[in-house]
A and B are shown apart, each in its own frame.
Chain A
């Protein structure tokens, strides 16, 4: 084993690992399936080449290319990263909310195939099929690139770059911003409804991953000194995907492991296959591709989480004060026992609860004060959130408004209004010209038989579905054209009828993901590091803990939300929506699958919040809940509002009763 062989191995491993880290950040962490990933590596390779190469006439003119600036190291590498990031921008139109993820992936794949075809056939730009060669190596004027010392240093630099990229992506992933990315990966529609801009998150990931891919391409051409279309066929992307899937999508160390196993491993294994004898020349490379295909399909079937699965982010929380915690836990065990029965998560529940209670040291001053205030108000029907400093601002501003509004109108001020709203699905009018208003501080119910258009209406109010015609007004503003995430940021937050927890986030992470205004929940904030956002995070954790205690899920704080029972998941969704600091909360069948006693408790909590200024619009089939908590109640049937009033009033209206019985 000579040193050349080892150096070659190290550099390839470093380059492939760097690329896999970029892809893992996009695909494993953020769920952006970039089937055109190789385009970005190719762009980096070409950029580094034409920046480092002298003018095309200088080396005999046997190859034609643009540029040829003969720039010194490290400018070609920097240029490679910059161009790799910039060419991601044209692709952002594919990754907004409108387009299905698999369609976007196909678009990127086709782009990779086509760009390779163009680069092959169009010679003036980048020398076409033959590609670029004789690319100068870094500092080759000062040192001898053939010397083994030079090559060792190059390998070391490549490894250092890879390590830096690892630290970079880890810093992003382990921040509140990274949590938003993972939330988007698990359920983009829900992330959107909680105020995450899918377009900007995905754009950031395309650019970040593109820059990393470009850098890896730049390093590669500096070593191999050639770059041609044959080096970046669309199938090379599939190899990198195989590496990330096998290593463990979402785990950056897994991505590095995958890079060593798949691209590097395949290259090395085939060296030991005898090349002589009478095998057809194409057989071995073809079988390699077959093997990569088999590995992808096989791993997705047998071990979809990869060799090194994404690790669970256990957040050590300060224990609640002893007086409150046992009471909360005890009360909840009886209440939620029907839900917890048969929960497949018994072991992780066990592992989660010690973490929640084993650390008596408070995380931050706020944690203790919040904890004690929660324990004192626990169980009392008054608003338990009123004492929460972080929850007060929206509630206070909302609470001030009714007094002025009351002078003008008999009831409280209208906060949310649908004006002649219609939604059509291929000729079927699911909602046909609905107008109604929700008043501040009320808990308004929305009932009606299946297919009445309740969920469709809710979706239009929240912006998850566009209206076919009509207007939505929220706090006096026309929000009809505002996307869901913008409405959520204004305090108009919804939950979903179907299970919509972020499965591979813990319960606590689910709650934290919804918190607006965390300093770490932006690309810059994430890069600034934990010290920049730790205080915000601690405050958010404290708030989440209070909620968890209130709804009796503190024992599950560090369980994966996807492992909970159906009823518990509903609770997570309601708590998560509350964490988003809503002023108007749109709940789509929040009590479905929840034990009646627990449903009543949720109702009491919401009533208390409404007294503090929150407004709730709730779709629910359980009329007993409506009776007890909702006033007024709106009845819908066949896409139209039938009647509005208290439940008692509605019961006396024959058309409402008929709609229910007949519809």
Chain B
């Protein structure tokens, strides 16, 4: 029982990190139509930016804010400098994926070239542990869960109640039609890259906090979890990504407690392949 509760705790934290990352990924894909495999690389770049700030003697939470801003700006640039030009030329979805894979190498190993190949950790205190109904969570873990809930609520408000959110949904559903209806899709797409890039940076830092130590290639495997969560919920679907993140996060950590931790990614992988093969539109069906 204690094993179960402990793994449930880990699972909640993983699910929280995953939810932030998966919401960003799925919105990015849904609205901009770019299956951005460089997402994991941008995440780890954010984690390292926060590390640099942290090493300079500042609080890690200050580093987190800087990382979010940097990844947001970086994603906008990535889109404006690379993806949009290719899309304007009429590049096929497959070409876009290959380009994003090339960008993955550039960003990920660019980070490795600067940071070196070794793993690093933030200088931070985990804060006092909190006991809640048999669960033991550190303050930092609670903050991560809180941040994730905030992101989910914020996404809901954004998509349901704001003009931008509605414009994003319209652009995702049919870009040409949205443009003909007077929506400035170019701006909406830039705004989407800014928002999802910020989420990506946030996910990178909380991922690094949760992992303890991290290196330039640490998100290679985490990307599998993100993809699994996204495809479980249906690509492009924000609520689906939340659901997928909770399922994948809990399933991987709880299974890791009972089987061996080495294979925790297998569940996510199997879930991803089953979804791809059987129901590529995800558990929640239609579009965003």
Contact = CB atoms under 8 A, between A and B. Distances in A.
Partners in one complex: yes
Given A286-B112, A426-B287, A293 B265 contact: no
B109 interface: yes
A35 B101 CA distance: 10
A43 B35 CA distance: 28
30 contacts: A35-B101, A99-B277, A103-B280, A110-B272, A113-B224, A114-B224, A114-B269, A117-B262, A121-B262, A242-B102, A280-B116, A282-B113, A283-B116, A286-B109, A286-B112, A286-B216, A288-B109, A289-B112, A293-B105, A294-B102, A294-B106, A296-B101, A296-B102, A296-B105, A297-B82, A297-B99, A297-B102, A297-B103, A300-B95, A300-B98
For B82, B105, B220, which residue has the most chain A Cβ atoms within 10 angstroms? B105
A292 B105 contact: yes
B86 interface: yes
A162 interface: no
A262 to B, nearest CB: 13
Nearest to A283: B113
Nearest to B272: A110
B93 A106 contact: no
Contacts of A121: 262-263
Interface string B213-237: 0001000110010010001000100
A117 B262 CA distance: 8
Nearest to A101: B94
B262 A241 contact: no
A238 B101 contact: yes
Contacts of B227: 106, 110
Interface string B82-112: 1001100001111111110111111011101
A294 B235 CA distance: 28
Contacts of B287: 426
A118 interface: yes
A297 B83 CA distance: 10
Contacts of B221: 113, 117
Q: Enumerate the 4 nearest inter-chain pairs by beta-carbon distance, A residue then B residue, closest first.
A: A293-B105, A282-B117, A296-B102, A289-B109
A283 B103 CA distance: 18
A118 B109 CA distance: 23
A289 B94 contact: no
Contacts of B231: 103
A60 interface: no
A370 interface: no
A245 interface: yes
B37 interface: yes
B124 interface: no
Interface string A216-256: 00000000000000000011001001100100000000000
A98 B275 CA distance: 12
For B231, B265, B276, which residue has the most chain A Cβ atoms within 10 angstroms? B276
A245 B94 CA distance: 13
B84 to A, nearest CB: 12
A94 interface: yes
Interface string B109-125: 11011001100000000
A101 B266 contact: no
B86 A301 contact: yes
Contacts of A31: 94
A105 interface: yes
B112 A102 contact: no
A114 B266 contact: yes
A287 interface: yes
A143 interface: no
Contacts of A281: 117
A296 B99 contact: yes
Contacts of A357: none
B3 interface: no
B178 interface: no
A280 B112 CA distance: 11
Contacts of A304: 95
A290 B105 contact: yes
A96 to B, nearest CB: 9
A118 B94 contact: no
B224 A289 contact: no
Contacts of A295: 102
A175 interface: no
A271 interface: no
B98 A241 contact: yes
B132 interface: no
